[in-house]
């Protein structure tokens, strides 16, 4: 048996690194596979890359059958500003693509689906507790957040009708080598700070991107998804994955300067930073049922991230 991952981006490959260590056979299903990125992340692991579109249900179903897939990790989606820029196309990809994932799981007898969601599904108008728990209301979000909420609802409806295992992980803002390529501004900021600091260049950061965020390192996310893929089915099925801490932009810059003392930052743009979430995610469910909590602090994550950058881009 094997695991299929929709998408070949940072989160899917971070999961793949963990799954490969336990000998799992992996199939990445992506309309534009990042072959070099996959080779760098997975090396000699047992994986194959299939060029296929989640909007093509027959292709997805055939791939699952050909590779005897029993677990499906759903990461493929348009994110953040790409959804706001073209909602019609983004909703088609994110929502119809998820319908196809659910239908393919039904048709082929996949036993477990792990869906990668986001803290953006939460309706922040109702923030009152010290931390945001998984039973907090969904809604009042961005176009991206709404599309992710619909994805969850589609999969929940299929699970209740057809009975496969479904676990949902709602991620804080992920950073790590490669995430910014998908269009995530929070990931791009971290990458800009490290690469500019390393090269001796000024890191220009847009003012509206300097709001406080809950940030989580991709390698911790990979472990969380792997736990969701392998744990005995728990009594609850939705899990926040974050650090439980809000980090300000100044704190992020300070942490980056600990390893790159010469880092120079210029905040550019007019107006003010976008409003920030006041509460972090509640991580108690993930600790209790997934036996997971982050291993990387912000400092150790940035050092590890910089090591990855230097490994791929050695100074001449």
| Every domain of the chain and the residues it spans | 2-174+216-241, 175-214+244-277+296-312
Structure confidence at residue 48 as a pLDDT band (50, 70, 90): very high
Structure confidence at residue 276 as a pLDDT band (50, 70, 90): low
First-to-final CA distance of the chain: 44
* 300 vs 259: CA distance, rounded Å: 10
pLDDT at 316: 39
Supply the pTM of this predicted model: 0.95
Same fold, 2-174+216-241 and 175-214+244-277+296-312: no
Parallel, antiparallel, or unpaired: how do β-strands 238-241 and 26-30 relate?
Answer: unpaired
What the block records as the tokens of 258 is 């600990």
* 177 vs 187: CA distance, rounded Å: 8
pLDDT at 130: 84
What the block records as the tokens of 152 is 């969850």
Mean pLDDT of 113-117: 98
Directed axis angle between helix 185-199 and helix 298-312, to 10°? 70
Supply the CATH classification number for the domain 2-174+216-241. 3.40.50.720
Determine the 3-state secondary structure of 12 from DSSP: helix
pLDDT at 182 over 90: no
pLDDT at 80: 78
Structure confidence at residue 82 as a pLDDT band (50, 70, 90): confident
pLDDT at 64 over 90: yes
Mean pLDDT of 5-20: 96
CATH top-level class of 175-214+244-277+296-312? alpha beta
- Which of 63-77, 172-186, 206-220 is the least confident region? 172-186
Mean pLDDT of 118-140: 86
DSSP 173: E
* 155 vs 113: CA distance, rounded Å: 9
pLDDT at 179: 62
Mean pLDDT of 50-58: 98
pLDDT at 114: 98
Neighbouring CB atoms inside 10 A of 151's CB total 25
pLDDT at 6: 98
Q: Give CA separation, 89 vs 13, 49, 79, 94, 95, in Å.
A: 25, 25, 12, 9, 10
* 81 vs 182: CA distance, rounded Å: 10
* 179 vs 149: CA distance, rounded Å: 21
Helix (H) or strand (E) holding 96: none
- Contact assessment for residue 248 and residue 212, using Cβ atoms and an 8 Å cutoff: yes
pLDDT at 186 over 90: no
pLDDT at 126: 63
- Contact assessment for residue 122 and residue 137, using Cβ atoms and an 8 Å cutoff: yes
As a whole number, the mean pLDDT across the chain is 93
Structure confidence at residue 273 as a pLDDT band (50, 70, 90): low
């Amino acid at each position: 048996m094997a695991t299929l991952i929709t998408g070949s981006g940072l989160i899917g490959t971070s999961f793949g690194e963990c799954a490969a260590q336990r000998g799992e056979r992996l199939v990445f299903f992506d309309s534009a596979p990042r072959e070099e990125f996959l080779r760098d992340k997975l090396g000699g692991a047992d994986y194959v890359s299939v060029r296929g579109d989640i909007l093509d249900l027959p292709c997805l179903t055939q791939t699952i059958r050909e590779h005897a897939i029993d677990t499906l990790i759903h990461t493929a989606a348009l994110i953040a500003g790409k959804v706001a820029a073209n909602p019609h196309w983004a909703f088609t990809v994110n929502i119809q693509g998820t319908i196809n994932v659910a239908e393919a799981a039904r048709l082929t007898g996949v036993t477990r689906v792990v869906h990668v969601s986001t803290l953006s599904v939460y309706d922040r108008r109702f923030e009152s507790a010290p931390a945001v728990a998984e039973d907090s209301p969904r809604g009042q979000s961005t176009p991206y957040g709404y599309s992710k909420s619909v994805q969850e609802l589609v999969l929940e409806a299929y699970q209740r009708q057809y009975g496969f295992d479904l676990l949902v992980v709602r991620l804080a803002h992920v950073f790590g080598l490669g995430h910014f390529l998908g269009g995530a501004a929070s990931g791009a900021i971290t990458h800009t700070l490290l690469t500019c600091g390393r090269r001796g260049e000024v890191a220009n950061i847009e003012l509206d991107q300097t709001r406080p965020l809950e940030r989580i390192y991709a390698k911790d996310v990979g472990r969380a998804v792997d736990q969701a893929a392998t744990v005995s089915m728990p009594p609850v099925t939705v899990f926040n994955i974050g650090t439980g801490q809000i980090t300000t932009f100044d704190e992020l810059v300070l942490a980056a300067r600990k390893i790159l003392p010469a880092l120079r930052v210029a905040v550019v743009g007019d107006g003010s930073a976008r409003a920030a979430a006041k509460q972090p995610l509640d991580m108690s469910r993930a600790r209790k049922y997934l036996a997971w909590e982050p291993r990387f602090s912000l400092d150790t994550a940035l050092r590890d991230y910089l090591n990855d950058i230097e490994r791929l881009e050695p100074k001449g």
